[in-house]
Amino acid sequence: MPTQKIAGSRIWHRRTTAKQFAVWLGWLTGIAIFVYCWRLISEKTIWFFVTDAPKQAVDMAERMVPPKWSYMEVLWAPIWDTINIATLGTMIAIVIAVPVAFCAARNTTPSVHFVRPAALFIIVSSRSINSLIWALMLVTLIGPGILAGVIAIGLRSIGFCAKLLYEAIEEIDHSQVEAVIATGATRSQQLSFGIVPQIMPAFAGISVFRWDINIRESTVLGLVGAGGIGLQLDSSISTLAWTQVSLILLVILATVIVSEWVSAKIRHAII
């Protein structure tokens, strides 16, 4: 008990002594781990470069202004490609994610012991591997270009969409499904009358949300050769064309802001 009686007046502490000790120990371990990690990083860091960085940053910023606006002509096509990669990739992901999600949700899966673990494995492996790594593999497999980007975004998004979707399916109101079952509906009828109407808003929200994220991710796929504006960014950086770099960054900023605005509008309209 955190309260104890000493000499007639009751002492109150927030925690028991043992708990307080555990909290302190937790903090101590946490700080120790942090300090240890920090030391290892700092060993691998050339601090001269770090102290020099502000000067470098000013230098770089000076070389970046003004952005080379004429370069915009070259950029329209990559922007279009970037948007396509995100949109088509999201579409592919959704098409695959829906059945995976139904297999992964406890209340709709055909088999808890065989299908569900498989579906969960698909979700985890798709989620743990960054789209850039997917792109890296696909570029080696099917060659550089937009197709690799689209598939990479698709593969990466399956896990994300399926995870959120199956959580939504598991959270549905079961009494509504029971009511449909009570009418003597078949399994597919239960699905379309009891479950689908309930998850529709979540589904739409997830799709738009992922599309928004994918716009951001597809801007960098070009770094490994998978198409989009990242290609221009990569080549501009490697040729030290800083005025082009700054323009590309502005374009990315604008694209992301616009896509965020669009997705917010759509989500608002749906919900």
**Segment 160-189, which members bind other proteins (CB under 8 A)?**
none
Please select the residue that binds other proteins; options are 44, 65, 73, 175, rule is CB under 8 A: 44
Q: Which of 28, 95, 142, 196 binds other proteins (CB under 8 A)?
A: 142
Total residues at the site for other proteins (CB under 8 A)? 61
Of 151, 164, 162, the C-alpha closest to 118 is 162
What are the residues whose beta carbons fall under 8 Å from the beta carbon of 147, sequence distance 6 or more?
138, 227
Our finding on whether 10 is near other proteins (CB under 8 A) is yes
Q: Contact between 81 and other proteins (CB under 8 A)?
A: yes
Rounded distance between C-alpha atoms, residue 59 and residue 228, angstroms: 28
Q: Yes or no: say if 204 and 198 are a contact pair by the CB < 8 Å rule.
A: no
Distance CA(195)–CA(201), nearest Å, equals 12
The answer to the question of residue 88 lying near other proteins (CB under 8 A) is yes
Under the criterion CB under 8 A, does residue 23 sit at the interface with other proteins? no
Q: Which stretch binds other proteins (CB under 8 A): 36-44, 97-105, 107-115, 183-191?
A: 36-44
The minimum distance between CB 265 and other proteins, in angstroms, equals 14
Query: Among residues 57 and 110, whose Cβ is nearest to other proteins?
Result: 57
| One-character DSSP codes across 46-100 | -HHHHHHHHHHHHHHHHHHPSP-GGGHHHHHHHHHHHHHHHHHHHHHHHHHHHHH
Interaction residues for other proteins, span 230-259 (CB under 8 A): 233, 237, 249, 252-253, 256-257
Q: In terms of CB distance, is 12 or 73 closer to other proteins?
A: 12
Q: Which residue in 124, 179, 196, 258 binds other proteins (CB under 8 A)?
A: 124
Q: Cβ of residue 233: shortest distance to other proteins, in angstroms?
A: 7
The residues, ordered by sequence, that sit 6+ positions from 103 with a Cβ below 8 Å of its Cβ are: 109, 110, 115, 116, 118, 119
Distance CA 49, CA 239 (A): 22
Interface with other proteins includes 212 (CB under 8 A)?
Answer: no
Asked if 130 touches other proteins (CB under 8 A), the answer is yes
Going by their DSSP bridges, the two strands 3-6 and 9-12 should be labelled as antiparallel
Q: Does residue 198 belong to the site contacting other proteins (CB under 8 A)?
A: no
Nearer to other proteins among residue 115 and residue 147 (C-beta): 147
Peptide bond into 54 cis (omega under 30): no
- What one-character-per-residue DSSP string does 103-145 give? HHSTTT-S-TTTHHHHHHHHHHHHHHS-HHHHHHHHHHHH-SS
Interface residues toward other proteins, by CB under 8 A: 1-3, 9-14, 33-34, 37-38, 40-42, 44-46, 49-50, 53, 56-57, 60, 77, 80-81, 84, 87-88, 124-125, 127-130, 132-133, 136-137, 140-143, 145-147, 216-217, 219-220, 223-224, 233, 237, 249, 252-253, 256-257
